[in-house]
Amino acid sequence: MFFVALICAVKLILGIEMKLLIEFYRTLFEVARDLILLLRVYSKMSFAFKLTE
């Protein structure tokens, strides 16, 4: 019974707020991508810093 209610709620949310959901996930993806880029840059910089020490 709980799963049926959950599925109905998900369908309702998807029906009403599909655009918002897509925007939300797109924003999440962009934030994650930026974080990964920042981590890469940071790791490269810290590695270069260790080499120069």
18-39 pLDDT, tens per residue?
788 788 899 999 999 999 999 9
Integer Cα distance of 48 and 16 in angstroms: 50
- pLDDT(47) > 80: yes
Average pLDDT over residues 31-49: 91
Please name the residue ranges forming H helices in 1-53.
2-52
Measured CA to CA, the distance from residue 38 to residue 40 in angstroms comes to 5
Cβ(21)–Cβ(13) below 8 Å = yes
Nearest alpha-carbon partner for 31 in 39, 43, 41, 20 = 39
Q: pLDDT band for 11, please (50, 70, 90 cuts).
A: confident
The pLDDT of residue 38? 94
> pTM here?
0.49
Please enumerate, as own/partner, the contacts of 6-11 that have beta carbons within 8 Å and a separation of 24 or more.
Answer: none
